[in-house]
Amino acid sequence: MPDIRPARVSGALVLNATYEPLCVVSVRRATILVLTSKAVCVADGEGILHSAMNELPVPSVVRLTRYVRVPYRTHIGLSRRGIFARDGWRCAYCRGPAETIDHVMPRSRGGRHAWDNVVAACARCNHTKGDKTPAELGWRLLASPHAPKGVAWRVLGHRTPDPRWADWLDMPMDSQQLAA
């Protein structure tokens, strides 16, 4: 088993045999895929992995040698981190640093906990808004909330992508930050 202790590498992007991005796995997992010939390394990361048998560059992107059929998740699960990432960690009402999640139509009034009804918000705006709607306060949403989509979101979720993955993920990601 190789001694895998990369300093700053968090993961490796896995591509299907067709170069279609599939998922992100640990560097250890990607290395094992390469060592067992289940994948080939198409982009090196930083550093070299040493094992008793050989030396191998840390893989950053690997491509599977055999095509796998993957049923696509078309729906991206709603998460607190995902909302912050989508909204660029900025308040939807004042663009200040966001630290809370606001339901645009308050839950107390039937607002859903769904991508199109949640925004990142600063504590002040969230507190002031209370159980009112933006319209009742004369506020305007600085971006209309929607479910993130696209290959980058499907593969990465809220993960910060490695710049080396950009070629395979159609980056820059339009849905990554509303506040760009």
Judged by beta carbon, residue 102 or residue 162, the one nearer Zn ion is 102
Judged by beta carbon, residue 84 or residue 153, the one nearer Zn ion is 84
Residue window 117-146: x/- pattern of binding to Zn ion, with contact defined by CB under 5 A? -----x--x---------------------
Q: Which of 9, 49, 60, 93 binds Zn ion (CB under 5 A)?
A: 93
Nearest distance from residue 179's CB to Zn ion, in Å? 12
Q: Is 5 exposed, middle or buried (0-12, 13-18, 19+ CB in 10 A)?
A: exposed
CA distance 133 to 126: 11
Q: Are 16 and 38 in contact (CB under 8 A)?
A: no
Q: Determine the length of the chain.
A: 180
Q: Which of 34, 61, 91, 178 binds Zn ion (CB under 5 A)?
A: 91
CA distance 176 to 60: 21
Query: In terms of DSSP bridges, do strands 12-15 and 55-64 run parallel, antiparallel, or are they unpaired?
Result: parallel
Nearest distance from residue 129's CB to Zn ion, in Å? 9
Q: Based on the shown chain and the rule CB under 5 A, indicate whether residue 96 belongs to the binding site for Zn ion.
A: yes
Judged by beta carbon, residue 13 or residue 121, the one nearer Zn ion is 121
Please name which of 106, 107, 77, 101 lies closest in space to residue 89, comparing C-alpha atoms: 101
Judged by beta carbon, residue 97 or residue 172, the one nearer Zn ion is 97
> What is the per-residue DSSP string for 119-161?
EEE-HHHHHHHTT--HHHHT---SS------SHHHHHHTTPPP
Q: Based on the shown chain and the rule CB under 5 A, indicate whether residue 94 belongs to the binding site for Zn ion.
A: yes
Q: Based on the shown chain and the rule CB under 5 A, indicate whether residue 23 belongs to the binding site for Zn ion.
A: no
Q: Which of residues 61-90 bind Zn ion (CB under 5 A)?
A: none
Question: Which residues lie near Zn ion (CB under 5 A)?
Answer: 91, 93-94, 96, 122, 125
